[in-house]
Amino acid sequence: MSSILKVDEIQDTSGNNIINENANTITIGKSGDTTNIIGTLQNDGAALVTGKVLQVVSTSTTSGVVTTSTSYVDINLSLNITPSATSSKIFVIYTGTNETNGTSGNRLALQILRDATQIADSDGIGTVGSVGVVTAASITKLDEPNTTSEITYKMQGKSNDGTVMVFNFGSNTGTLTAFEIAG
């Protein structure tokens, strides 16, 4: 046998509202009260925890990539991550040391891909008027992929003017990291 208790509010022994329902909104306590919830607060079965790092995937390489291509080429940094919820955001960070080489005034460009889609880029990296300049570069992107399927993030680079560019120069480490953030 089951029972149903129907009320609009619950009060403590002093007459203070503990739980109040009005227009489909449930209020617990009053403004300034501390409410301790044991377990996970959920909305339609989905946890309401946001802003926490749920997982981190990182890869690095010291394998240099030399190119004169004016089209983007892979620079040996790729990782896979599977978000745990469609509301998750993925914070992607690239750091690397690259060299512009050849004639003076040349520059390089970098991009981050989510699967085959460019989600971030940085163009014109390097110093005009210098030859053989080693440049530390970084790109960050807060991505909102809206999926629970595996995603591949990849770094690519190119030469803006067809002169020699070296990505992950001199065996310096290039790193690509993805943080899943609860949304």
Helix, strand, coil fractions of the chain, as percent rounded to 5? 0, 55, 45
For residue 171, the model assigns a pLDDT of: 67
pTM greater than 0.85:
no
> Whose CA is closest to 108, among 63, 141, 70, 140?
70
**Terminal C-alpha separation, the chain:** 41
Q: Residue 47: CB partners within 8 Å, gap ≥ 6?
A: 40, 41, 182
Q: Residue 29: CB partners within 8 Å, gap ≥ 6?
A: 17, 18, 35
- How do strand 17-22 and strand 25-28 relate by DSSP bridges? antiparallel
Amino acid at 154: K
Interior angle at CA 24, CA 18 and CA 28, nearest 5: 20
Give residue for tokens 């460009």. 109
Say whether domain 53-181 belongs to CATH 2.60.120.1340: yes
For residue 164, the model assigns a pLDDT of: 82
Cβ-based neighbour number of residue 69 at 10 Å:
12
For residue 11, the model assigns a pLDDT of: 73
- Quote the longest CA-to-CA distance of the chain: 86
Q: How many CA atoms lie within 13 A of 77 on its CB side?
A: 31
Whole-angstrom Cα distance, residue 90 to residue 146?
A: 10
Instruction: Read off the tokens for 136.
Output: 């530390």
Q: What is the pLDDT tens value at each position of the chain, 183 positions in all?
A: 666 766 667 777 777 777 777 776 767 766 666 666 655 556 555 555 677 899 999 999 988 899 999 999 999 999 999 999 999 999 999 998 887 765 556 678 899 999 999 999 988 766 555 556 667 788 999 999 999 999 999 999 998 888 888 888 776 778 999 999 998
